[in-house]
A = this chain, B = another copy of it.
Amino acid sequence: MPKDAVEIRVVSPIVTKGFRKIADLKALEYPGIKVSHAEISTGPGSIESEFEAAVSVPGTVAEVLRAERDGADAVIIDCMGDPGLRAAREVATIPILGPCETGMHVAAMLGHRFSVLTVMRRLRPSFENTAAIAGLSTKLASVRSVDIPVLELESDLEHTKKMLIREGIRAVEEDGAEALIFGCTGLMGCASALREGLLAAGLDIPVVDPIPTAVSVAVALVRSNLSQSKYTYPLPPEKTLIGYDGIRLPVPIAAE
């Protein structure tokens, strides 16, 4: 029987303290639903490349393990690269969600095709690969970028929003998008500005803000008693691991 009080842990896989504002996460709470937060202590300042995504994974996995030990009911990895999603699902039994995978499935339910609006052009192959693995290639209309680095998104928030609206309109009119999803969790909170900009252009298009959506879907999974398949994501076997003292795997089921 599902618990009435659900804790969703958001793990930000970067070392830039305070990038994720706690108040923004608290705004996602409901009676019976708590949203907690963690950052990693080793890894990159932000994630705008495959390299940075890769070096964020060990710290992210460590935080996922801690979240499950703390009693969290689900974890969301706070980056649209979904770094460490598969590794984390192996070491945990609670549901682990990637905002990109989750947001793409939700966007695919809302409109015939969706586009991703992200920060840098270089991330396009990564999003197309995520869609391919999620089985959603045919629903991905395009990946567009505003060409603003993650840590500068808030430097001139009006410019960021203006660029989002411009690229969002292009995604609809040129690429065939009928729903939109942010391609960077640093854009959290910009959804209503984008949606209004689109409506002003006569385009009634839903905008998926990945972290709030992932939090809601995580609650849905917890209340439906669902978690990742342990046939797809079995616990790793016990073995030598050098250089990751912070990572202690649970005892494998097979060894019990």
The distance in angstroms between the C-alpha atoms of A11 and B244, with both chains bound, is 20
- Cβ contact within 8 Å between B90 and A49: yes
Copies in the complex: 6
| Interchain nearest-CB distance for A67 vs B (Å) | 16
Q: For the complex, is A71 an interface residue (Cβ under 8 Å from B)?
A: no
Instruction: Flag whether A32 is at the interface (Cβ < 8 A).
Output: yes
Given the complex of chains A and B, what is the CA–CA distance between A128 and B4 in angstroms? 36
- Interchain residue pairs with CB less than 8 A apart (30): A15-B242, A30-B223, A31-B32, A41-B242, A45-B241, A52-B236, A53-B87, A54-B87, A55-B87, A55-B241, A58-B58, A59-B243, A86-B126, A105-B105, A124-B176, A132-B138, A135-B135, A135-B136, A151-B239, A178-B231, A179-B229, A179-B232, A203-B231, A204-B230, A204-B253, A205-B230, A206-B227, A212-B224, A213-B220, A220-B220
Top-5 shortest CB links A-B: A42-B243, A45-B240, A216-B220, A111-B229, A204-B230
